[in-house]
Amino acid sequence: MKTFKQLNEAIRVGKAQQFAAKAHDVWRKSFDTSGTKERIKKNSDGTEGNINVPFHKLHSDWKKENLAAGHAALAAVKKHPRDMEKAAEHVHNEWMKRNPKADHNAAQHVPYHELPEAEKEKDRVHVRTMQGLRQKR
């Protein structure tokens, strides 16, 4: 029989997994409504692959990133349950920790309050997605 701590951990992991798949689907719809456009990314093993595929078909690198985003979103809504902007800032700060500054993401590697509104909204979407999943207990 699972202990309370083990049960809480299982719930946390489950919510992060649900988030990862849902958030990836939301991204795919915003990236390409037709479902045919490719987005090729380099994987850590040197291969390249299309990330505009269903979550279960993603390379493990990108599944891992989506799961990490889910854990960050869960921590954000627990820490800031009634403050969307603080929760979104938490999500953004965790993203910066996971994604070192490089040429391709330098514009997003700024404090949350300096982000353009469209970038802030991406972080808010993560918060709203997790809030919705937490309500479905």
- Structural domains in the chain plus CATH codes: 4-135 (1.10.490)
Q: Which two tokens stand for residue 96?
A: 């910066």
pLDDT band at residue 2 under the 50/70/90 scheme: low
pLDDT of residue 9: 64
What pTM, to 2 d.p., does this model score? Answer: 0.78
Is residue 76 within 8 Å of residue 90, measured between CB atoms?
yes
The rounded distance, in Å, linking the Cα atoms of 74 and 97 is: 16
Contacts of 83 (CB under 8 A, 6+ apart): none
pLDDT in tens, 17-65: 888 888 888 888 888 888 789 999 888 999 999 999 999 999 999 899 8
Q: How would DSSP label each residue in 16-65?
A: HHHHHHHHHHHHHHHH-TTS----EEE-TTS-EEE--S-GGGS-HHHHHH
pLDDT of residue 21: 87
